[in-house]
Amino acid sequence: MAPPSNNRQPTHHDVIIIGAGAAGLMCAATTGYRGRRTLVLDHANKPGKKILMSGGGRCNFTNLNSTPANFLSDNPHYCISALKRYTPQDFVELVDRHGVEYEEKAPGQLFCQDSAKDILNVLLTECEWAGAEIRMETSVNSVTETGDGYHLATSAGNFTCESLVVATGGLSIPTMGATGFGYDIARQFGLEVLPTRAGLVPFTLHPELKQQLAPLSGVSCPVDAHCHNEHFREPMLVTHRGLSGPAMLQVSSYWQPGDEIHINLLPAQKIQQDLLDLRRDKPQSTLLQYLNQHLPKRFAQAFNELQGWRGPLQEYRNADIGQVAQALGDWTIKPAGTEGYRTAEVTLGGVDTRQLSSKTMAVQDQPNLFFIGEVVDVTGHLGGHNFQWAWASGVAAGNVA
């Protein structure tokens, strides 16, 4: 890295980007390479904090199978253009050029082999090569429109720019510095902000069920979870607060307070037929023995007790077996709530994309004001899709800002 210059930077830049996260840094490199004098401002002490903590510290930086169908939005067509023009393969090529080693942990999900720092370093190096300046620990106090751009009053002085890009993220994980500042800017300029809520977030349970499952904290099992006809076949994890793991996080983005969640605990089995066959061939078998074959022993024991199943299968009539199959194949729970923004990976809702250009991310009647990344109403599924939106929306704005 070059030593910091002692020369006082001019206050005018072609482009100012608020937010040094994934989308903001990607946009900065893109504008910088176009020869645009670019400044990134962020109130945090270090750039890319959410990048560093993502994927258990190894950053699930894209998903090779990412399509518009992997995103939630009140305006579902909006994300198509940007995602088509900057694909997962485009980002993989960038990572390859920097020599980052990565692995495919689940189908399509690419993680750094060593550390999420590798992805942050790619972005910071690209910004440096492109001549984009990054100023941390700089709070933006106000933004005002001028005749030929925008004026920003900040804790580090006043700046002006021709193009302003808002990449402030959502409300998720406030300990990382998340605020609603981007939404405030949007409202200031007359944009609608759709209601926000925590997404990709663990569920909390009502006291009785929470107490029954408490001994299972840390136990994981593959399930098929669904809510509002959206199915996810992934692992579920029992925690001391409730239910988590990929299956629950995915479903949480579709869940509304009061909704039930339906969980097939044995998605790979034909449960009713299995039990009928077992009763015929080994009538002395118990349901617990069957569960022990297909579920972690601690989970099998607790679920068996929860349901009060006793005695050998020969004592179960066909109707009883149907009820058992129903309980296992459609375990229905009504969560008390979610853990909220404190642990949510993303924020649902945000700046209404109907007011933005899907090609440039610019406000339709203010072509020099852009909103990218999580601050807008585009939210991906778990598994690298949200990073792909950050890269794609950052490049889309960066190509014109």
HEC string for 222-266? EEEEEECCEEEEEEEEECCCEEEHHHHHHHHCCCCCCCCEEEECC
Beta strands in 239-377 (DSSP E): 242-244, 261-264, 331-333, 337-338, 346-351, 362-363, 366-371
User: Given CA atoms 200, 350, 58, 112 in this order, what sign does their dihedral have?
Assistant: positive
Beta strands 366-371 and 157-166: pairing type?
parallel
Residue 151 forms beta bridges with which residues? 144, 160
pTM score of the predicted model: 0.94
Position 249 scores a pLDDT of: 98
How far apart, in whole angstroms, are the C-alpha atoms of residue 252 and residue 122?
32
- 297-307 and 287-294 helices cross at what angle (nearest 10)? 140
Position 176 scores a pLDDT of: 85
Homologous superfamily of 203-338 in CATH? Translation factors (2.40.30.10)
pLDDT tens figures, 311-360: 999 999 999 999 999 999 999 999 999 999 999 999 999 999 999 999 99
* The two three-digit tokens of residue 29, written as one number: 């490199």
Residue 58: name the closest of 6, 2, 104 by CA: 104
- Rounded to 10 degrees, the C-alpha dihedral 58/61/66/67 comes to 140
Residues with Cβ within 8 Å of 319's Cβ and at least 6 positions away in sequence, in order, are none
How far apart, in whole angstroms, are the C-alpha atoms of residue 103 and residue 118?
13
In CATH, the architecture of 12-196+348-399 is 3-Layer(bba) Sandwich (3.50)
Position 10 scores a pLDDT of: 41
Position 4 scores a pLDDT of: 42
How far apart, in whole angstroms, are the C-alpha atoms of residue 300 and residue 233?
19
- Rounded to 10 degrees, the C-alpha dihedral 267/344/374/84 comes to -20
Position 122 scores a pLDDT of: 98
Mean pLDDT of the chain: 95
pLDDT tens figures, 260-302: 999 999 999 999 999 999 999 999 999 999 999 999 999 999 9
Q: Extract the residue ranges of the chain whose pLDDT is less than 50.
A: 1-10
How far apart, in whole angstroms, are the C-alpha atoms of residue 341 and residue 356?
26
Position 401 scores a pLDDT of: 98
How far apart, in whole angstroms, are the C-alpha atoms of residue 306 and residue 54?
35
Beta strands 242-244 and 337-338: pairing type?
unpaired
- Gap between the terminal Cα atoms of the chain: 26
Q: What is Dmax (Cα atoms) for the chain?
A: 86
- The domains of the chain are located at 12-196+348-399, 203-338
How far apart, in whole angstroms, are the C-alpha atoms of residue 245 and residue 128?
37
Position 175 scores a pLDDT of: 86
Instruction: Give CA separation, 192 vs 182, 195, 351, 359, in Å.
Output: 12, 10, 6, 19
How far apart, in whole angstroms, are the C-alpha atoms of residue 126 and residue 111?
20
- For 58-83, letters b (16+ CB in 10 Å) and e give bbbbbbeebebebbbbebeebbebbb
How far apart, in whole angstroms, are the C-alpha atoms of residue 276 and residue 298?
24
Position 6 scores a pLDDT of: 36
